[in-house]
Structure 1
């Protein structure tokens, strides 16, 4: 397995390194933001419980403009998915083959988290841990899965949406933006959140489409235009969250009448536009800085485990809280006091150590998929086009799991299962403290995709041998 330094040396000069930097920066902002506002306290009956400090810290709400970086994830996702899909398509590959390739990086870390969660819940209940405490812990662990619900959806739609982008360009995100505006108008006028449910699709697809435009140059944002976009977007944000109807916080605040991220609002898209402008402004300087080996190696290191970091950072907060409580070092729960702010330092340092341990333990699952793909690409050499062309043909009867209906069905099942997990209220639900049916859907889909990748690989290898 190549080291991070070796991967840094192998990086082609044509790679858009600023995209990787943006992704790495975004994941660190997500982790830091969640940990910063999390507070853990013992209840009068002696149980540990956690809550977000945001309702008690309204003065901190403007800072969420810096920590709400989900738009960046979808922007850089659009760039990377456009590059990957275009290369695959130009080599003769088909949609099923591309979706199978993307699943190799996305599904194994999710499978590991869910299996560990299910096993942990079983063991905890068997050991006599109070059921309500286990339910709360499991709910915290599966909280990040909501992001994957939407992201898997946009990945599955990438071939179709990229075709629309090639034909209609920036008109596609403009139409999607109109959908967000319509949804917001209906929910604001009626008070019914359900009217804006489509914003989950419209908003994040719109940002993803902008990533397509940035990748192929059709966005046409010069530094001057990018600066104007940032200034205009911030001004729009101030209007929308000041005299306008939207809350200042760009992350969920329990008890608030309106939430910007759930479902995504027009105000959140204004923030997304500002982030697009900032991304364009930092692209040139970032690329020049990342030609240096050490910073680029650090960026590669974070990106190699970016999904692992995201999935396990809430688990780290749970384990870290238990460790600090056992040592009698749990920080003050008096939100906003000097003791609370000072307590953020040992709190976040402890969680960082715990997360590093989880990444060391489970990160190999994600890096293994990355290095196997890199090794396969290098080993293919001049036959890469032949391999992709072979995968573009209809799979043989011996590879039924690599067909588009099966692959698309597996993606749909995984999305449904993850949505079920992320949206389920406090259980318990059976022995695993989450809906068993949801686990079956996600783990079953992951198994089908794994078999599909194996079948596609075997068929491509045989096709390559036949061409040699």
Structure 2
């Protein structure tokens, strides 16, 4: 508690604390959503098997508009990445050094999960388990890595995308959204391959909005009262290319700033909801924002225009609550709680399905594993004790593995001379690419594939090579400043 109090006291006055709260809430909602929607049954071999109960409870489809919070995480990530990149450049660093430093906090907890799961799979194999028995367990525990693969693909593009944002502003996410719409058209009419870039473009669009929030928060768009009197009305129109919000910031698709006024937030909330309803009601998109079997236009993988509409509504609601939340977060206890969650937030996310595996295995071993039919009264009654028991298991896992993340401080890297800076940047990007490939390959491999280590060998080798390269680069250029 004393450490949390010290960290809270050292928080800069201009920090956007609300973003930290949003990150924590987003992960908590993901965890609770996955736990609450889980249904456990026995397969034909008498082994426990898990699946989503969402198909059995269609009345819950609209609730996914609130619990599908991946857009919130990318929004917060965009702000955080823009802020850290700007600070790194003010200290004289380059984009390669920034990317290298960013890798530490993301990959250390991830490496712990992958190595523990691969080691556990090896022990199970030595104990006589068949590869076809090991893979489903590891596959389920590594489902969170799908999201991490998308985020790790976006992060290396931050310097380029932020440069585009500084030049073209909100026009960039608009163009990205149009490309997502083209991908949706390909899924609906063919060829379906047109939608493959949407796995990246959809999340990049949301990530760009985080840049616009950062610029608005830091005053990178000049308010009216900061424009010198000598500037003419014509000059103002040319510079701003739009109208103004109540804070005086220039709006329009060429603006770099996110409109933050209550009126703009309400327009996003209502407009996003109206578009989402039209797309999922009379339109061709499913109501659920979480993918279900058999959906041709699934909303989450890849992101669809309907999901982007829901993300717009979420953004509007977030902005409407911002000022009140910021005031609340300037109290000591709420802010300390947010700091505590964020210090292990990635660990919580990565291990929450492993907690499910451990609890199911323990209850099965004791012969007391309940398997009520999904959506039944017994299944609903089992939700509360189920979630509480999982929370206990996850708390133990976080106590064990959380320090790996919590003790990962801010990584700073010195600037290498001349050609070595280019070489370091290229190796850093290659390391990220290897990690993204590994996580995506693991997720794409069949759930029942006979993988001796649970994770495909090629994916495991690629991950270790990429993460190892990044670790060596950090060791070689770490600074103490």
One fold, TM greater than 0.5? yes
Which residue is 2:310 aligned to? 271
Spell out the pairing of 1:344-355 with structure 2 (5 A cutoff): 344-355=383-394
Equivalents in 1 of 2:416, 2:126: separation in Å? Answer: 49
Q: How far apart in 2 are the matches of 1:194 and 1:145?
A: 23
Count of aligned positions: 441
In structure 2, the partner of 1:419 is 440
Superposition deviation, residue 426 in structure 1: 2.8
Q: Does 2:476 align with 1:455?
A: yes
Q: What is aligned with 2:238?
A: none
| CA–CA separation in structure 1 for the residues paired with 2:2 and 2:475 | 22
Distance in 1 of aligned mates of 2:290 and 2:324: 29
Deviation per CA, 1:191-236, whole angstroms, max 9, x where unpaired?
x532211111111001000110011111123111101210111111
Contact (CA 8 Å) 2:134, 2:451: kept in 1 or not? Answer: no
- Corresponding residue of 1:209: 208
Alignment of 1:104-183 (within 5 A): 104-183=104-183
Matches within 5 A, 1:361-376: 361-369=400-408, 372-373=409-410
* Aligned-residue offset at 1:358: 0.8
Q: Deviations over 1:392-416 (max 9, x none)?
A: 75376xxx89711111111111111
Query: Structure 1: where are the runs of 5+ without partners?
Result: 377-386
Residue 233 of structure 1 aligns with which residue?
272
Q: Tell me: CA distance 1:325–1:173, structure 2 relative to 1, closer, same or farther (3 Å).
A: same
Determine whether 1:219 maps to 2:258: yes
Q: 1:38 to 1:156 in 2, by over 3 A?
A: same
Q: 1:335 aligns to what?
A: 374
- The residue aligned with 1:440 is 461
Distance 1:402 1:349 in 2: 50
Choose which of 324, 334, 342 in structure 1 pairs with 2:363. Answer: 324
Q: Report SS of the residue matched to 1:128.
A: coil
1:401–1:451: 8 Å Cα contact kept in structure 2?
A: no
What do you get for the CA RMSD once the two structures are aligned? Answer: 1.9
Task: Deviation per CA, 1:348-407: give whole Å up to 9, x if none.
Answer: 1111111111111111111111xx32xx8xxxxxxxxxx87x5275376xxx89711111
In the superposition, the TM-score normalised over structure 2's length comes to 0.88
SS in 2 for 1:117: helix
**Superposition map of 1:243-322 within 5 A:** 243-322=282-361
- Give the secondary structure class of the aligned counterpart of 1:407: helix
Match of 1:193 in 2: 192
* Structure 1 Cα separation of the partners of residues 133 and 67 of structure 2: 29
In structure 1, how many angstroms separate the alpha carbons of the residues matched to 2:369 and 2:129? 20
Cα separation, 2, equivalents of 1:279 and 1:78:
15
Query: Aligned to 1:391, which of 415, 424, 427?
Result: 415
Contact 1:170/1:213 (8 A) holds in 2: yes
Query: Are the aligned partners of 2:135 and 2:451 in contact in 1 as well (CA < 8 Å)?
Result: no
The reply on whether 1:23 has 2:58 as its aligned counterpart is: no
Q: Report the Cα offset of residue 329 of structure 1.
A: 3.7
For 2:139 and 2:59, the matched residues in 1 are separated by 28
Which deviates more from structure 2 when the two are superposed, residues 177-186 or residues 76-85?
177-186
How far off its partner does 1:326 sit?
3.1
User: Which deviates further from its counterpart, 252-261 or 85-94?
Assistant: 252-261
SS in 2 for 1:36: helix
Shift of 1:44: 4.8
Higher helix proportion: 1
Q: Distance in 1 between matches of 2:417 and 2:94?
A: 7
Corresponding position of 2:243: none
Q: CA deviation at 1:135?
A: 1.4
Structure 2: stretches of 5+ with no match in the other structure: 217-256
Whole-angstrom distance in 1 between the partners of 2:417 and 2:336: 38
Q: Distance in 1 between matches of 2:388 and 2:268?
A: 37
TM-score, length basis structure 1: 0.90
Distance 2:150 2:440 in 1: 9
SS of the residue aligned with 1:403? helix
Shift of 1:294: 1.0
Name the SS for the 1:391 alignment partner: coil
- State the distance in 2 between where 1:27 and 1:18 align: 14
